[in-house]
Structure 1
Amino acid sequence: MAAAREITAREVEPGDDDAVELAKRHLVQPWPYAGSVGAEARALIGEGDGIYITDASGKRLIDGPAGMWCLNVGHRREELARVMYDQAMALSYNTPWYTMNAPSAELAKRIAGHAPGDLSHTFFTTGGSSAVETALRFMQFYNNVRGRPEKKLILSRGGAYHGSTYLSASLNGRPRDRDWMDGADELVVKLSSPDPFRRPKEMSITAFTDFLVDQFRDTVARVGADKIGAFVGEPVQASGGVVVPPEGYLRRIRQICRDNDILYVSDEVVTGFGRLGHVFASGEVFGIDPDMITFAKGVTSGYFPLGGVIISERLLEQLRHSNHPDALFGHGLTYTSHPIGCAVALKNLDILEESVLAHAREVAPYFQARLKTLEELPLVGEVRGMGLMACIECVADRESRNPLQLDKDVGKRIDAHCHELGLLVRPLINMCVMSPPLIISREQIDDMVTILREGISRTMDDLRKEGVWRG
């Protein structure tokens, strides 16, 4: 196992302590609790290199979450830094309202070459939330122009995560995301999560798949296809705990959408650009051709904020030949088609195509198999995943598959132990999510799993000592 090392490229500076105090006094962190909002400092990260980051104490850690599912080609890629500099020196910004830039046009062409079906045009945004928001606003515009102003409801699912803007967040299906937040609930119809681990104990996978499909079909019939504008779904529910749907489920849902003129929006903000070994997973992995695909994160490997939505040529053709040629899609962002972001994305795509996608496909089975060995630990109820994304779900009782109701910080406990051992984990209540940079090697996977095993074992000891869990 790789040992932690002291910082060599940069010593911890006095300003690091200042940054912690400044954050407590002036910085509002994302997703804060009311009791600490505006008075909180989080783990300070000093550097990144490859699959590693270095914290303020000088400890070197495997970046288990790859930032936030996004650092697909790893930290400190000089070629991406050079592209940012070169593009900024050539053209740092242009208004997208009445001008355009060459990198955005070239990137749109490259993306169309990887997209399934007739998805051929891209609207660029600043990230995943704005990408989903754009797809939904386009659906509304599309139906207004076609004379169907009532066809606006959106189907989403339990466990889903689609963003933090008002409309995109309204689709989210994790209770804690909405407990204290408002949303456009009148526009959203929620369906069950396609999580096989949480299906009734006596129900087979086949029966569970049929249940999900029947529920979808029955909902369309009950609500009315003339009222439903879109279904939005992640191919793999990422922040919901890396929920991999049953085989064939997405294809059957896609067919119901097609039969009822419901736009299928595949949210590939996480799964796109290599996480499952392909630029897009919808067609290559799941065999579906959506009406729109949203993306972000891995498109620039986190080096610049960029996202987008790819739109079917069929939909655009229908708009161009409608009876309302003067109808205005009144939607755009100051940083739509940002030249630096698009230039970085082009170079990032070069790197992915040259070797990283093939490497991700090659090491993914090893990654999944090694993590699966953690099911030997009695605290672990299931290890699941696909490609280079996985979730370790901890349970109080394997027989009933109950989560740890008496301690909702099990994921944080494991993360704290793993941090000491040299690994950053993404904790989600009773789960730990792993989605490392796609350049990770087999030896580094071994290091990661060894640390996870020890971190979970130490957590089990803590829970036993506290009487929270008997194991």
Structure 2
Amino acid sequence: MTTTATPARPTQPTRHYDAQALWQKDKDHFIHPFTDFSVFHDKGCDLITDSDGIYVSDAHGNRFIDGIAGLWCVNVGHGRAEIGQAMAEQATRMAYFSTFNNLSNAPAAELAAKLAELAPAHLNHVFFSCGGSAANDATIRLVHYYFNRLGKPNKKRILSRRNAYHGTTYLAASLTGIESNNWDFDTLDHLVTHLSEANLYRRPEGMSEADYCDQLVAELEETIERLGADNIAAFIAEPIMGAGGVLMAPKGYHARMQAVCRDNEILFIADEVVTGFGRLGHFFASEAVFDTRPDIINCAKGLSSGYAPLGATLISDDLFEVLGTPQRKGGVLSTGFTYSGHPVSCAAALANIEIMEREGICASVREVGPYLERQLKTLADHETVGDVRGSHFMLAIENVADKATKELLPVEARVGDRVAAEAQKRGLIIRPVGHLNIISPPLIWDREVVDRVVAILDEAFAATTASLRADGFL
């Protein structure tokens, strides 16, 4: 493939920044999530200061296509005036009041009803939090409470999966199965057991997709037998693993895993923090795409398109029948957050959903997504591209040293960082995660944008291959 990509082009920022002073303040005082301190102390961070539609600009005025939707979340694109106006109107009318005890607010009530309308029919009750980690944390606390109320206090253990990502709060980090995420951090190992990830690309050599699915389901059954169903509360899974590598499960995997859980009175929790709100072409993917009916669905990110922090736990009617019954005289459901159902965040989410419905964004993703998948797969011609995988607007490229053996490049090659840097030079921001590069764009990309992005990536991978060879890694 030979193409010419459009380079990053300078624009006039909407506000003036002293870029060097701002960079220094950030480096001196802001502890960033997932900071790589091996380079941060020297290089600091690139400061993104402005955005519009599918573009973001840095403090120097350089403009880039946003290939990661902020962080899986800016689904309707940047700079949506309708969302900003809805937030401003709510903030000036009533920015905040408690939702504890017998108090509520209009946006929270409207949003809870709207989520019940959009979700699978049996999920009609919503517990609000402030983001994905908090949603997963709160969910496990509610699950334990549920089984305590049923007189089954031993059902505490949660089954998760290696390479799963469920957040970084204490319990959510314990659910997370990405080993490097928890280096030198403590985890609640007595509460969580990790099963194998579902990774079609790295399944055993020569094994069919159907046999691989059988193997994964058998592992679940063996784990339940070993631990005892009476000791297991729930199984939590992302429909497609996100930060763990956009890992695709074999066909039928989720439905079969849910069936085993149902047979053993183990709750099935779908972490749709990434897959929810259009990324796979539906507001919720569990039932529409994966033929499952979870007892609980967690969502965040695209719920508000990142315009305000917000998470939600959607709970089935069967669970709520227990959770919603007073446990004793004077007892209350004593869990929640000061900002549960925050009115400004809920107003942002309502405006976001209205945009998605009015503009048919889910339908657009179902049309453009397969085209994005096909075009990205043309990058497989490059020497280091071992796998291009994912679905619709949730995709990853796995870089390898040898396509035949799937052997990885050494960590010090920093291949994902190299590809991302080459793409950024050419006007595109994508996410490096070790040997991977993740593409999770705003849901408003069209075919023309896809073609521009693939042209940039074609150049970026060619430049990366050349630099890896020059440095002796190939």
Structure 1 counterpart of 2:219? 215
Q: Distance in 2 between matches of 1:408 and 1:224?
A: 44
SS at match of 1:439: coil
Shift in alpha-carbon separation, 1:162–1:325, aligned structure 2, 3 A? farther
Residue pair 2:120, 2:293 contacting (<8 A) in 1 also = yes
Equivalent residue in structure 2 for 1:106, among 99, 105, 110: 110
Deviation at 1:46, TM superposition (A): 1.7
Does the alignment pair 1:424 with 2:429? Answer: yes
Residue pair 1:384, 1:392 contacting (<8 A) in 2 also = yes
Deviation at 1:127, TM superposition (A): 0.3
Structure 2 counterpart of 1:336? 340
Does the alignment pair 1:24 with 2:27? Answer: yes
SS at match of 1:382: strand
Matches within 5 A, 1:7-406: 7-10=11-14, 12-14=16-18, 16-33=19-36, 41-98=44-101, 99-320=103-324, 324=328, 327-354=331-358, 355-405=360-410
The alignment of Structure 1 onto Structure 2 pairs a total of residues equal to: 468
Residue pair 1:74, 1:439 contacting (<8 A) in 2 also = yes
Instruction: State TM-score, norm by structure 2.
Output: 0.96
Residue pair 1:28, 1:38 contacting (<8 A) in 2 also = no
Report the AA paired with residue 76 of structure 1.
G
Please, which moves more after superposition, 119-128 or 4-13? 4-13
Once the two structures are superposed, residues 227-286 of structure 1 have per-residue CA deviations (whole angstroms, 9 ceiling, x without a partner) of 000111000000011111111000000111111111111000000001011110001111
Deviation at 1:152, TM superposition (A): 0.4
Once the two structures are superposed, residues 320-347 of structure 1 have per-residue CA deviations (whole angstroms, 9 ceiling, x without a partner) of 4586465543211111000001011011
Q: Distance in 2 between matches of 1:457 and 1:36?
A: 24
Deviation at 1:39, TM superposition (A): 8.4
Structure 1 counterpart of 2:9? 5
Report the AA paired with residue 196 of structure 1.
L
Residue pair 1:28, 1:39 contacting (<8 A) in 2 also = no
Q: Distance in 2 between matches of 1:367 and 1:104?
A: 35
SS at match of 1:393: strand
Shift in alpha-carbon separation, 1:301–1:66, aligned structure 2, 3 A? same
Q: Distance in 1 between matches of 2:132 and 2:93?
A: 27
Deviation at 1:4, TM superposition (A): 2.9
Once the two structures are superposed, residues 29-64 of structure 1 have per-residue CA deviations (whole angstroms, 9 ceiling, x without a partner) of 112356678887311112111111112222211111
SS at match of 1:362: helix
Q: Cα RMSD (Å) of the superposition?
A: 1.6
Q: Distance in 2 between matches of 1:262 and 1:325?
A: 29
Q: Distance in 1 between matches of 2:422 and 2:186?
A: 35
Residue pair 1:236, 1:245 contacting (<8 A) in 2 also = yes
SS at match of 1:341: helix
Structure 2: tracts of 5 or more residues without a match: none
Q: Distance in 2 between matches of 1:466 and 1:448?
A: 27
Q: Distance in 2 between matches of 1:335 and 1:67?
A: 23
Deviation at 1:103, TM superposition (A): 0.7
Structure 1 counterpart of 2:450? 445
Q: Distance in 1 between matches of 2:463 and 2:43?
A: 27
Q: Distance in 1 between matches of 2:55 and 2:39?
A: 29
Report the AA paired with residue 435 of structure 2.
N
Shift in alpha-carbon separation, 1:220–1:81, aligned structure 2, 3 A? same
Q: Distance in 1 between matches of 2:133 and 2:95?
A: 24
Residue pair 1:129, 1:165 contacting (<8 A) in 2 also = yes
Deviation at 1:8, TM superposition (A): 3.1
Does the alignment pair 1:468 with 2:464? Answer: no
Shift in alpha-carbon separation, 1:323–1:299, aligned structure 2, 3 A? closer
Report the AA paired with residue 338 of structure 1.
H
Q: Distance in 1 between matches of 2:466 and 2:44?
A: 28
SS at match of 2:274: coil
SS at match of 1:180: coil
SS at match of 1:170: helix
Q: Distance in 2 between matches of 1:464 and 1:173?
A: 33
Shift in alpha-carbon separation, 1:39–1:126, aligned structure 2, 3 A? farther
Shift in alpha-carbon separation, 1:163–1:325, aligned structure 2, 3 A? farther
Report the AA paired with residue 301 of structure 1.
S
Q: Distance in 1 between matches of 2:16 and 2:327?
A: 64
Q: Identity of paired residues, percent?
A: 43
Report the AA paired with residue 238 of structure 2.
E
Structure 1: tracts of 5 or more residues without a match: none
SS at match of 1:226: helix
SS at match of 2:51: strand
SS at match of 1:176: helix
